[in-house]
Amino acid sequence: MANVSPAQFVRQVRQEISRISWANRRDTGLATLTVFIMATIAAIFFLLVDFVLSNVVQFILGLGA
């Protein structure tokens, strides 16, 4: 690695930050909404799978009694 002065490092960081395309408020809101919707769908899915599997296990264990 080349030795870089602190001032040059700060200039390079500012230059890189200016190249970043930041998300606007609408895009951030849509991404947040999408995450909440997908998390809700996943939670409902796993709730249903857990319910079905627990009933199957209880049925199997009930046959032995």
pLDDT tens, position by position, 3-54: 889 999 999 999 999 999 989 999 999 999 999 999 999 999 999 999 999 9
Give the per-residue pLDDT at 26: 97
Residue 33 lies in a domain: yes
Number of domains in the chain: 1
Residue 12 lies in a domain: no
Residue 27 lies in a domain: yes
Residue 58 lies in a domain: yes
Q: Regarding predicted confidence, which is higher, 1 or 35?
A: 35
What DSSP string describes 13-35? HHHHHHH-----HHHHHHHHHHH
Residue 49 lies in a domain: yes
Domain that residue 55 falls in: 23-65
Give the per-residue pLDDT at 23: 92
Give the per-residue pLDDT at 65: 56
Contact assessment for residue 4 and residue 12, using Cβ atoms and an 8 Å cutoff? yes
pTM tops 0.75 = no
Q: What is the C-alpha to C-alpha distance for residues 4 and 11, in angstroms, rounded to an integer?
A: 11
